Structure 1
């Protein structure tokens, strides 16, 4: 075995006389001589007592740590934050969700770099936390394994499976008299029965499937439930495996290749995953040095069928996908579209994962009989979205895939919610919500509440569209088109839409068009100016540094051509 100095980053803080103070502090933290000499493995845990997808991660961490110890390493657990998108939904708290992704990534990077950890096992479940961990792992490029925490089981209401999306839509049904108060209460109490990420193919579970396809988590990790005993086994094996990766210097860059990202997008499209992946996956690719854009999603969608009719659009939840072969089952249906020699952290290639797959065909349909011939996500372009807009095509009613309607314009999500609640939205309308992008929001809040109110309304469902420079929850269904780029705050044409304008949506032909003459738009542009955004703290920083949605909403450092201080002037003034 190579010497510790040759392999381990931690030797910088544990070896030699000059590091006696460092070792002294490790001893104060409870480490023994043997602990200090072994590889130091960071257990990056997003456990907290707020998020259902994370409340069990402390127990999974115990399994990971035991696996690390069994393999001859020293586990050092630390925590990062986790925002629950469902609890943050529908109020100003949702502006904090996307910025939290960057804070998670930064915190993991800071802890691993400051303490010279040799490897990372990341535990995470929900919407921005898994992407945040992956951003850090790509950025650090030290040996790493991800343990996604697993899904909660579906609830049951009126003998039908239900999940969080069902509750959001239930609110609309209650307001319109379809549900009694008791109905809504019973749904509330049964839809989310316990620990785990919400049961449908929402953002958390989509990102778990993406992580498994990228090769950074164990085979079947994505579809093994939060409280399934097999998840504990995966956690322990992941802890054991990280030592092999460390000693053999196998880094995330060996998994995060262009071919692996193409595989991940293909699986995402086949599953009809969350539109949020079109923010997260390009951002992760960028950290890995891979140029992945919406154009790549478009190209892959042209040849990728939608194979699994998952909630929120369809009847299937994660437990059903698990029982039908999980991610390996999806891979097996797509074999000729994939780069099957890509490696994975458990030592298998994608081809070997395919060989072990057991597909029954209940949930994962055949290529000859797909849910839709095209991928479950689509990119739309046109005068209102020259840099692109995204839609979960798999969750759009057939009669809404081509739709022309009259614009109802709102400068915030709350204004649109008020109009929906007051019955001011009618069939044939296109709800336009703007100034909710990365800079304009700021924070690009999700909009499950307005989409759920439309989808849950018999009067409006399948008869109203919504377009926005904000984004949607993975639980959103219906003709909901988001990520319009450029956003309104950056001078995008969505800022010029007026009440009554005609908006044309054509998903089969990837088109989104505002039917207003150029001369009229030019006149409107003359009098337009961006509204002032009154923010402080993290949102102020995010608004100043965030890129547009088509570039992943990542943060960039503003260019600075000259120093802040003129040294000559400073000296002269003394």
Structure 2
């Protein structure tokens, strides 16, 4: 046991004395110490109920003979942080989550950990920590929020974001907006669509680091608490057998997660996060590999924002394992990969049938023969850009239009809401990348405004920043290299013609190489001075094409 380093031997008498100050007995000293990492706080709706989940996990640990110790980490609500300076801190918080867990585990000698996240950057941050530490670990999330109801129609937070644009366009009254505001988010949980939080909770299940149901059991169901108890018990089994995260999150396991990602039509942010998790697990993943997997994987689900179904519908349809069972029919999964359940993927998915074929399409009748995400390259994105193509209208899969250039998200949002964007335009938002932002902001405000104003079928948006999982339309993010690093997106000028070809995975500005070289000679980066944490982050973070990981300067 790793906890021997803090509790065994004559020289550890002072350590035992301190542990006894917590009320521990000699019997408990002989048992495994399990860290319960709880991202609970009182500001994030997805996390407000995590005390109950943690208590259930602790009971599971105790039932299986372990000693649980709960400790916290931070969590940012992306919805509340959206469209102001707070969004610069969202992606950057992922590193704090991972680092804080590393510190607590290394300092206190835990034998295993139960990780309790729910929202966007907390899930990947915890998975990064699990891969980095490589001690027995189980993830149990807080679960998705149920949808709201307005006039008999299912709604969620993305409905409210889009409604702002509808009000500005005169398509909705402020009274109707208020009704949405009142009812769209009925209670705790991660926002109800296949946005980043739920995407990553489903990915955790697909990776094999969470038990069945982690991605889809609604937050308010008692089944979620039973899952937490089972997770607490299961981590004790992993400690006994010394089954480690990297035994599960190996090359084949991460490939499985990417395949499920394509089938589910997850958030484009999963590309950032799975790449970063793979880096911590010392598994090589690049954007070309992701494209190859997308080309080979049918898209079986269209959940909000790509369609009219929600996480509660996916739960009713059979959840992640039902999707994986469909994929297994075409031998698209590595069946021998181990999971925290103790079963292999092949054993785990067997018998998990689809219960609603309107939610999970049969493998022989998919929404699309290729996956939900595409990586685009060209002279505008030499290292790549990401689009959630399952949420793009067919009319925008190939598009050429005039560039409308903005150096900050807020400038673009103001132009959209003030009616300054025309049908056919291609909005370019730059200096919002990992370093240039810094922080690689999500841009749900401009994309939802376009959708609410009815422009999402005729206007594209390109950025070196990124998008919320709630974004729909021809929204192309993670353009790399970013403008701050001298990427071609920083050379685009107002009125340039931009070509988007999603089927052929191309993204180009239709300007000659000679003109681009001349512009490069005269180019100087726009610098946003930063102090505090963002200043530190800016100095360490890598390209979005590499998962915006932080590298030490050794």
Find the counterpart in structure 2 of residue 393 from structure 1: 389
Which of 335, 340, 345 is 2:335 aligned to? 340
- Give how far 1:518 is off: 1.3
Q: Superposition pairs for residues 100-249 of structure 1, below 5 Å? A: 100-249=93-242
Q: Superposition pairs for residues 264-279 of structure 1, below 5 Å? A: 264-279=257-272
Which of 252, 255, 275 is 1:262 aligned to? 255
- d(CA) in 2 for partners of 1:492 and 1:347? 46
- Give how far 1:182 is off: 1.1
- d(CA) in 2 for partners of 1:519 and 1:344? 53
CA contact (8 A) 2:456 2:474 kept: no
Which of 465, 477, 498 is 1:470 aligned to? 465
- d(CA) in 2 for partners of 1:391 and 1:53? 26
Matched, 1:355 2:350: yes
Find the counterpart in structure 2 of residue 570 from structure 1: none
Deviation >3 Å, runs of 4+: none
| CA displacement 1:478-526 (0-9 Å, x = unmatched) | 0000000000000000000000000000000000000011111111111
- Give how far 1:293 is off: 1.1
- d(CA) in 1 for partners of 2:264 and 2:398? 22
Find the counterpart in structure 2 of residue 490 from structure 1: 485
- Give how far 1:355 is off: 1.3
Secondary structure of the residue aligned to 2:422 is coil
Find the counterpart in structure 1 of residue 37 from structure 2: 44
CA contact (8 A) 1:155 1:161 kept: yes
CA contact (8 A) 2:429 2:462 kept: yes
Q: Superposition pairs for residues 17-36 of structure 1, below 5 Å? A: 17-36=10-29
- d(CA) in 1 for partners of 2:447 and 2:299? 22
CA contact (8 A) 1:430 1:503 kept: yes
- d(CA) in 2 for partners of 1:375 and 1:160? 28
CA contact (8 A) 1:328 1:356 kept: no
Q: Superposition pairs for residues 5-84 of structure 1, below 5 Å? A: 8-84=1-77
| CA displacement 1:511-545 (0-9 Å, x = unmatched) | 00000111111111111011222100110011111
Matched, 1:442 2:435: no
- d(CA) in 2 for partners of 1:145 and 1:369? 34
| CA displacement 1:49-91 (0-9 Å, x = unmatched) | 1111111110010100011111110000000000000000011
For structure 1, list consecutive stretches of 5 or more residues without a partner in the other structure. Answer: 1-7, 560-574
- d(CA) in 1 for partners of 2:317 and 2:214? 14
- d(CA) in 1 for partners of 2:543 and 2:151? 43
Secondary structure of the residue aligned to 1:386 is strand
Q: Superposition pairs for residues 260-339 of structure 1, below 5 Å? A: 260-335=253-328, 336-339=331-334
| CA displacement 1:296-342 (0-9 Å, x = unmatched) | 11010111011111100101101101111101110011001100111
CA contact (8 A) 1:153 1:194 kept: yes
CA contact (8 A) 2:102 2:129 kept: yes
Q: RMSD of the TM alignment (CA)? A: 0.8
TM-score, scaled relative to structure 2: 0.98
- Give how far 1:432 is off: 0.2
Secondary structure of the residue aligned to 1:380 is strand
TM-score, scaled relative to structure 1: 0.95
- d(CA) in 2 for partners of 1:31 and 1:81? 27
Secondary structure of the residue aligned to 1:302 is helix
| CA displacement 1:524-567 (0-9 Å, x = unmatched) | 111101122210011001111100000000101125xxxxxxxx
Number of equivalenced pairs:
551
- Give how far 1:158 is off: 2.2
Find the counterpart in structure 1 of residue 373 from structure 2: 377
For structure 2, list consecutive stretches of 5 or more residues without a partner in the other structure. Answer: none
- d(CA) in 2 for partners of 1:290 and 1:433? 32
Secondary structure of the residue aligned to 1:484 is strand
CA contact (8 A) 1:365 1:371 kept: yes
Which of 395, 400, 422 is 1:426 aligned to? 422
Which of 524, 527, 532 is 2:527 aligned to? 532
Instruction: Between 520-529 and 473-482, report the one with greater CA deviation.
Output: 520-529
- Give how far 1:346 is off: 1.2
- Give how far 1:407 is off: 0.2
- d(CA) in 1 for partners of 2:136 and 2:447? 41
- d(CA) in 2 for partners of 1:123 and 1:402? 41
- d(CA) in 2 for partners of 1:420 and 1:511? 25
Secondary structure of the residue aligned to 2:149 is strand
Which of 341, 361, 364 is 2:360 aligned to? 364
- Give how far 1:29 is off: 1.9
Instruction: Between 29-38 and 72-81, report the one with greater CA deviation.
Output: 29-38
- d(CA) in 2 for partners of 1:284 and 1:492? 25
- d(CA) in 2 for partners of 1:391 and 1:180? 32
CA contact (8 A) 1:306 1:371 kept: yes
- d(CA) in 2 for partners of 1:399 and 1:315? 19
- Give how far 1:37 is off: 2.1
